[in-house]
Amino acid sequence: MAKWYDIKAAADGGGQQPPTIYIYDEIGYWGVTAKDFADDLKALGPVTALTVRINSGGGEFFAGLAIGNLLRTHPAKVTVKIDAFAGSIASVIAMAGDTVEMPSNAMMMVHNVSWWASGTAEDLRETADVMDQMRKSLIAAYRAKTGLDDAKLDELLTDGGTWMTAAEAKELGFCDVVTDAVDATNFARVDPARFAKVPTAIAAKLAPPPPAPPPDAPPPAASDQAKPAEARQIADLCAKAGFPELTAGLLTGTATEADVTRRIEDARKVKDACARFRRPDMARNLIAAVASGLTVDAACAIANEAAADRDESVVTDTSRPNSQPQANGWDKAINTVNQRTAR
């Protein structure tokens, strides 16, 4: 089963480093629960310091909230290092740090609660009430770290999200220390095995370099020399297209505007397919899978397969408020995604 976090215990011997927790994927969506995280954290035993490294666009609200609370109440001193991006519920986890560090080229994003719901008008009203309570939890977590008042936090928690550079996050109190800019691939080069799944963009940069062109070869075309897009540009493009969660995977230092456009187009195709096959609930998971290497055609086929299985057997998903019957095809499709992305 794919994991979206990894916990590495400190090595034995003098001068050992504190245990490190890596959160480098979508939080909670791949079947690993907050309870699994709690069990793994408890298995570390009594420790006086923890380091949490984050590069995640967020994920399941309640899983992230639980993890943030676990870290906040842990007796160890918690240092959070945002290696590239902490968005959505991943930024709430970051607030659990006694000290939060960000390289100058990293980003943080906070936004209003988003959810999906179906059912009667009364079901939708009840879901809206739950979302209001969820928003209060967000504000409490951000307030505890930043000291900002609720009015300012209301201003930041917009539906489109507030994107902050490291300097902006520090100014507002979300971050304590801004460090030198770091190339994200350096983390993988130090120890790629520490990740449950190396991000596709990083793995591509670690591939052997192409052979040098012969001496008389013409210079590459201008299109091949496209400049990498700036972090703010990437964030703006993704947000305007309605896919802010894509930002984390594109903050590699090499993604061009064309790369961002292609990723957005892929996400749009998957979202449209999920809507067409009456499985909009699968869109986010499948978009994340495509960003990790699954082809768009395969993702669309998975949505189609789940739709075909909808009427075979119906179960209730109790992980969401006011949950409605969901087809067993969901489990089958997620297993298919896990198998394909694990290859």
Q: And the tokens for 102?
A: 């960000």
Q: Which of 89, 100, 73, 114 is nearest to 25 (CA)?
A: 89
Could you read off the pLDDT of 44-79 as tens digits, one per residue?
999 999 999 999 888 888 899 999 999 999 999 999
CA atoms within 13 A on the CB side of 201: 22
pLDDT of residue 340: 44
User: What is the helix (H) or strand (E) element at residue 227, kind and residue range?
Assistant: none
Query: Residue 106 corresponds to which tokens in the numbers above?
Result: 């990293």
Compute the average pLDDT of residues 107-129.
Answer: 82
**Three-class SS of residue 100?**
strand
Q: What is the pLDDT of residues 229-260, one digit of tens each?
A: 888 888 888 888 888 888 878 887 788 888 89
Confidence of residue 188 (pLDDT cuts 50, 70, 90): very low
Band of residue 327 on the pLDDT scale cut at 50, 70, 90: very low
For residue 311, CA distances in Å to 266, 276, 314, 327 come to 28, 16, 7, 7
| Angstrom distance (rounded) from CA 64 to CA 88 | 9
Place of tokens 């290497």: 293
The residue with greater pLDDT, 341 or 10, is 10
What's residue 209's pLDDT? 46
User: Which pLDDT score is estimated for 289?
Assistant: 81
Average pLDDT, the chain: 77
Q: What percent of the chain has pLDDT over 90?
A: 32
In this predicted structure, what is the pLDDT of residue 196? 33
Say if residue 114's pLDDT is above 80. Answer: no
Distance (Å) of CA 192 to CA 102, 199, 203: 20, 10, 9
d(CA 283, CA 91): 22
Q: Which of 262, 72, 106 is CA-nearest to residue 187?
A: 106
Angle at 73 between CA 72 and CA 78, to 5 degrees: 50
Is the predicted pLDDT of residue 80 greater than 70, yes or no?
Answer: yes
